[in-house]
A = this chain, B = another copy of it.
Amino acid sequence: MAERPVVAVLEGSRPVRGLGRVAELAEVRTVQAAELHRALDGADVLYLWDYFSGALPAAWHAAGSLRWLHVAAAGVDRLLFPELVASNVVVTNAHGIFDQPMAEYVLAGMLHAAKGFGPLRDRQNEGIWAWREGRNIAGTRALIVGTGSIGRHTARLLRAVGVQVEGVGRTAREHDADFGRVHSSSALKRLVGDVDWLVLLAPLTPATENLVHAGVIDALPPTAVLVNAGRGRLLDEQALVRRLTAGTLAGAVLDTFAVEPLPAAHPLWSLPSVLVTPHLASNADSWLDDLAAQFERNFLLWIAGEQLPGVVDKDLGYVPSGTA
C-alpha cells in the first residue's frame, strides 16, 4: 500500500479503545456522528465503535472511497441500508466476541425462571418469606432459533448442564455437531408444542422478522418460557403479552424489544413472570477490550491483504456459518 490508509472511527458516548497499533499504520479520524461525513471523505475504512448509531446513511454520500466497514456488534440489522448492501464495501462484525456472555445470559435467564427468582426477589423486597417449588433444568427441552456462532455456543453450554437442545435454522439437517437436529424455521409452529424453552438468538433479517408470529406463540405449551436475546422484532410482542397476561404461559426473559428502550407504559415492564433486561446480554467482563483487540487483529489482516474473518453476507444479513 503506497499511502497510509485512512480509518474513520465513529466513537459515540463510550471512548474508543485500543487504536494504538492502528494509528501507527493509518491516519485515524475519530469523530462523533455529526462529523462522520467529514471523516468519511477519503476514508478507506470505517470502524463503528458506536455500534448503535444510525448516522451512516446520512453521511454515506461522502463514503466514495470506503472499502471496509467493521461494526463492534453482532447484529447488523440497523446497519444494512440499501446503498451499503448494493455497494462493494466489505462489512465485518464482532463475530465470536459475544458468544460466551450471550450463552451465559440465556442459561442465567432459564435458571432465573426455573427457580422463580423474579417472584422471589419481589417477595424479598416486601420482606415476605414465601416458599415455592422450583424446577430443574436438567432434562428439559430447549429449542434454539438461530444456528450461528452465538446459537451454537449456547447449545453447547445448555447441553453441558443436561438440557436437551435442538436448533432452528434456514435449512433442516440431521447430525449437526452442536444441535444434533436442526429444523427448518418454517416448521416452528409445529415444533414448539412440547418445548420447555424457546430461545431466540437469530439475526433480524427480512426472513426472520416476525418469525415467531402469534401462531407460534399460541402453540407454546403453558409451561414454556420464552428467552429472547436476539431482536425484539423476531417475535409478535403483542401475542406474547396476551398469553403472559392471561397466565397461560410460564414466563419470558427478554433482553431485546421491538422498541428500545422499552417504552414506559409497555405492559412487559409489570408482568411478574417476565424478566426485562435492557439489551445487555452481550456485555460482560472484558467485552470492550475484546472488541478493540478484534478490530486491531482485523486491521492488521486487512492491511496485509489477507482474508478477513466475520464477513457479513449483506444479502442474508449475517455472517453465514462456516465462513468465519
Contact = CB atoms under 8 A, between A and B. Distances in A.
Interface of A: 100-101, 104-105, 107-108, 111-112, 114-115, 117-118, 120-125, 127, 129-138, 157, 160-161, 260-262, 264, 269-270, 275-280, 283-285, 287
A117 B270 CA distance: 16
A105 B111 CA distance: 8
Contact of A157 (B121, B124, B161): B161
A134 B276 CA distance: 15
Contacts of A131: 278-280, 283
Given A117-B277, A133-B287, A160-B160, 9 more contacts: A100-B136, A104-B114, A104-B138, A107-B111, A107-B161, A111-B112, A117-B121, A125-B270, A127-B270
A214 to B, nearest CB: 25
Give the copy number: 2
A203 to B, nearest CB: 21
A275 B134 contact: no
B161 A129 contact: no
A104 B278 CA distance: 25
Contacts of A118: 121
Contacts of A283: 131, 133-134
Contacts of A104: 111, 114-115, 134, 136-138, 161
A233 to B, nearest CB: 18
Contacts of A123: 278
The 10 closest A-B pairs by CB, nearest first: A108-B111, A129-B261, A134-B284, A160-B160, A129-B278, A124-B276, A121-B121, A108-B115, A136-B284, A131-B278
Nearest to A113: B108
* Highest count of chain B CB atoms <10 Å: which of A101, A112, A117, A137: A117
Nearest to A134: B284
